Amino acid sequence: MEDDPSGLSMRLGFKINCGNTIDLKSLAEGDMLKTFFKYTILSILRMVGISAFVFADTYFVSKAFGAIGLAALNISIPIVNIVNGVALMISIGGGSAFSILRAQQDIEGANKIFSLTVNTALVIGIVFMSIGILFSENLAKIFGADTDTLAMSLTYIRTILLCAPVNMINSILISFSRNDHKPALAMVGVMAGGLTNILFDYLLMFPLQMGMFGAAIATGLSPLVGIAIILLNRFKDTSNYRYIKTAEVKPLGRIIKLGTPSFITELSGAFVLILFNLIILSISGNIGVASYGIIANISFIVIAIFTGLGQGLQPIASAAYGVKDMFRLQQYLKFGIIAALFISAIMYAVLFMFTKDVVTIFNAEKLIELEQIASKGIRIYFLGFFFAGMNIVVLLYQAAIERVHSSFLISTLRGFVVIFFVVLLTSKLWQLDGVWISFVITEGIVFITSLIILQVEKRNIERA
């Protein structure tokens, strides 16, 4: 068990091997529930590792700078969503295309996809760096920074953009490791990066007194550890993807098409953060934004869990789709929805019982107003995740099987169209409570839409 020193595989009841790949026949014909748990549990842990970046930043910033620092960070976080969104669009889109081509035994085509994905990510990373140098202050002001929060927000945004190429390459290596049927390797890479981020957050912000720059540089460069782990594994083991020189850019359209739902999901997160921050700022000022920062930070972790569930579903759904096994597709979707409901119930029960304890973690100044706003907001806002979890699973499932239009519709409705109109209405009717309620109403409306889409597609499959 050298590849699993922690003994995680023994506790989960199956053998994990970071090195040896699972052949496609085993993936297509093996026990469905076991396969589902293997991929989704590791993917969830991987996404929780990613969310640890922002969680650690939020915790240490709240300790170092109090409510104003928390507000400044929450104003800056949309840039993380945007960079991650583009990274996921390229990496998830490339990984999905790679998995489908591998299932169809098109090895050369799969390698071209990997190579094009890397090239595209490097170009986009350079563009992000340029934006960071030239337009960081403009972005901070657009996101809602005022005189109290501008300096810290500007520092965080600029640093994250300058580190974007690292994020892009890390996302690609993780996605292709997962689609190469090495989910444990992907998980180890991300978890190592997450732990490094937490360690350097503390070292840079407290002993070294580097402030908000320390928080940002820890987040921006910690993925280098994950990159190193995956590359070292490639040197000692055989992977089913390799970089080849290619001038072919035609598959880029397919990559973007398959990755767009993931991009929309992350971009919508940035849009909602900015929208909510601006509305809350007008109602309750920076203390309200700081309270929302606590809610958004917890939400980021919960969304990461559901995204991990959906992304874990992606390679096995894509493989089943590649060999036209419709029964497995339906079963995997069923497992995903049931798992989403179970996770939602556990999550809400924990948050409801320990609301004040959770808020206290980020309330270093022990502000009564901050505690009251955040506590009430958590209990209202997180009801929406009973719907949101299923919505995220459905939209990522749709993308994995190349039903991109359906996935795009769900992503756009929940992240832009419905939330925009609902929050404008509910915030007028119920002020701050209306902001929290808008999330619940939006996800409920989108869930009804998702059910209709699934029912229509099921009928189309039965008629085919």
Rounded distance between C-alpha atoms, residue 442 and residue 423, angstroms: 9
pLDDT score of 213 more than 70:
yes
pLDDT band at 108 (very low <50, low <70, confident <90, very high): confident
- Helix, strand, or coil (residue 222): coil
| 104-113, 251-260, 328-337, 391-400: range with lowest mean pLDDT | 104-113
Residue scoring higher pLDDT (15 or 387): 387
The Cα 90–Cα 459 span in angstroms is: 32
State residue 123's pLDDT score: 94
The CA distances from residue 273 to 87, 193, 296, 419, 423, in Å, are 19, 25, 8, 11, 12
What six digits make up the tokens of 385? Answer: 């995740």
**Cβ–Cβ contacts within 10 Å for residue 102, how many?**
25
- Written as one letter, the residue type at 267 is L
Give the tens place of pLDDT for each residue, 378-419. Answer: 999 999 999 999 999 998 888 778 787 888 888 889 889 999
pLDDT bucket at 158, cuts 50 / 70 / 90: very high
pLDDT at 4: 35
Is the pLDDT at 164 greater than 90? The verdict is yes
15 contact partners, CB below 8 Å, separation of at least 6: 1, 4, 9
d(CA 323, CA 221): 39
Assess contact for 75 and 140: CB atoms under 8 A: yes
Residues 444-456: what's their mean pLDDT?
Answer: 93
**310 vs 48 pLDDT, higher one:** 310
Return the DSSP state at 149.
Answer: T
DSSP annotation of 382: G
Structure confidence at residue 374 (pLDDT): 96
**If 0-12 CB within 10 Å is exposed, 13-18 middle and 19+ buried, where does residue 249 land?**
exposed
Pair of tokens at residue 181: 């049927």
Rounded to 5 degrees, what angle do the CA atoms 156, 162, 168 make?
A: 110
Determine how many CB atoms are found less than 10 A away from the CB of residue 338.
Answer: 12
pLDDT of residue 322: 75
Q: Which two tokens stand for residue 154?
A: 């500007």
CA dihedral 371→375→377→381, nearest 10 degrees, is: 150
Give the HSE-up count for residue 416: Cα atoms under 13 Å, Cβ half-sphere. 12
Q: What pTM was computed for the model?
A: 0.79
CA 121 – CA 224 distance, rounded (Å): 15
Q: What is the chain's alpha carbon radius of gyration, rounded to the nearest angstrom?
A: 21
In total, the chain counts a number of residues equal to: 464
